[in-house]
Amino acid sequence: MNKFASIAIIFTLLFITGGLVANANAAKRGTLSGGIAHSIPDWFKESFLDLSEDASEAAQNNKHVLLFMTLNGCPYCSKMLNEVFAQDKEYIQKHFDSIAINIKGDRMVTPPGGEEMTEKNYAGKLRVLFTPTIVFLDADAKPVYRINGFWNSKMFRAAIEYVSSKSYKTMSLPTYVKARAKQDKSRKPVYTFRSHPQLKALSDFSKITKPLIVLFEDKRCQGCNKLHDRNLNRPEIKKELKSFVFTRLDADSQKAIIDINGKKTTAKDWADSLKVSSRPGLVLFDEGKEQQRITGELYGFHFKYALSYVSGKHYKTYDGWLKYLNAQQEKILQSGGNIDIGDLPVAAGR
């Protein structure tokens, strides 16, 4: 065999071997699991998505419009529809015209004002960061209340009663829930404030230089125990919390504090001024500004990256948390990592 033939064979082998390595690397792409397919209930309204017309029709029947902003494969949407909406179906049908909008969809929506846009662009206009997002519209098709993410059945029932009674005209949801609890003497506090090794007692927030998480809770909080059990006590979340100053405020407290802007106020008034209308509500600050908030239940994977979006200052390079989340998800999958977006712990180091 001459040397040219030998060289040709060597290059052929290198080419084949390289191809095998490339194919092996390509085959190492991780898998994404935990998504759940869901169907929109047949009792939702079939709409041409002219929202002014929908709102007017609803008002004629003393109803509000309920926009269910959803996404294919969203596990929270499936849980919301199959557990929460199914439980309150009769009440929802009586007081709301429910309409589904796919936040990645291409159907045309006509908001008030007449400017047509796709479902996707409408979701962007509303700054939808979580699915489901539920937006309630009044007779003029103006948003009067909004739920960002999954809420359990008790929290959701309070919200829909708050909207259907038009209490949003005079008070916030926490004030409404508190007033209702006072009227019903049989209602007792359902939550006792829990400890956490990383929670720090603070009263002056104006001098914080690290990223800051303020957790607002109260004694009527239906989801606070789940937040601690599902997320805050997980090792991978505790690791992420090390990048923050992490504190908790009783959203009913009249104790004097100094907010992040140096204003003297109280925990209650600060929560009200921030319009944190759910409990628990986590507000994430950095560089003196709110950068993110979490007001619905999140599974471990999403919760972790909701935190790292702020701790890593990724809000400076990504136009919104969802784009950052999608980029991180793709990075993990390309490197061969597996992702379960359901209610399982996040793998260590990811």
Helix (H) or strand (E) holding 124: helix 119-125
Residue 27 confidence (pLDDT) above 80: no
- The secondary structure element, H or E, covering residue 300 is helix 300-311
Query: What is residue 344's predicted lDDT score, i.e. its pLDDT?
Result: 64
pLDDT of 6 strictly over 80 = no
Q: How many CB atoms lie within 10 A of CB 116?
A: 12
pLDDT at 3 over 90: no
3-state secondary structure of 278: coil
pLDDT value of residue 73: 93
Homologous superfamily assigned to 51-171: Glutaredoxin (3.40.30.10)
pLDDT digits (tens, 9 = 90+) for 268-322: 999 999 999 999 999 999 999 999 999 999 999 999 999 999 999 999 999 889 9
DSSP string covering 197-241: TTB---SB-TT--S-EEEEEE-TT-SSHHHHIIIIITSHHHHHHH
- What confidence score (pLDDT) does residue 336 get? 94
Q: What is the mean pLDDT of residues 168-193?
A: 87
Sequence letter at residue 87: Q
Task: Inform me whether the pLDDT recorded for 343 exceeds 80.
Answer: no
Judged against a pLDDT cut of 80, whether residue 239 lies above it is answered with: yes
- The pLDDT tens digits for 134-164 are 999 999 999 999 999 999 999 999 999 999 9
Q: Report the distance separating Cα 159 and Cα 165, nearest Å.
A: 10
**Contact partners, residue 92, CB within 8 Å, separation at least 6:** 66, 85, 98, 160
Q: Which residue has the tokens 């009200």?
A: 272
Q: Which tens digit of pLDDT belongs to each residue from 218-229?
A: 999 999 999 999
What are the structure tokens assigned to 307, written together? 């935190």
- 8 A C-beta contact, residue 178 and residue 252: yes
What are the phi and psi torsion angles at 236 (to 5°)? -70, -25
Range(s) within the chain of domains with CATH label 3.40.30.10:
51-171, 212-340
For residue 125, what are the contacts with CB-CB under 8 A and spacing of at least 6?
111, 117
Does residue 192 have a pLDDT over 70? Answer: yes
What is the number of other CB atoms lying within 10 angstroms of the CB of residue 183? 7
3-state secondary structure of 339: strand
Distance between CA atoms of residues 143 and 298, nearest Å: 24
Mean pLDDT confidence for 77-86: 96
Measured CA to CA, the distance from residue 254 to residue 22 in angstroms comes to 63
Annotation: CATH topology of 212-340: Glutaredoxin (3.40.30)
The letter for the amino acid at 73 is: G
Residue 26: what pLDDT?
A: 54
Q: Identify the DSSP state of 297.
A: B
> What pLDDT does residue 11 have?
37
Identify the CA nearest to 276 among candidates 322, 208, 214, 346: 214
Residue 113: the pLDDT is 87
* Average model confidence (pLDDT) across the chain: 90
Residue from 276, 172, 260, 173 nearest 216 by CA: 276
The pair of structure tokens assigned to 283 is 């507000």
The lowest-confidence range among 11-20, 100-109, 124-133 is: 11-20
Does 34 score more than 60 pLDDT? yes
Structure confidence at residue 252 (pLDDT): 95
**Contact criterion met (CB below 8 Å) for 337 and 28:** no
Instruction: For residues 110-120, give the mean pLDDT.
Output: 93
Q: What is the amino acid identity at position 313?
A: K
Give me the DSSP letters along 8-34.
HHHHHHHHHHHHHHHHHHHHT---EE-
Res. 22: pLDDT tops 80: no
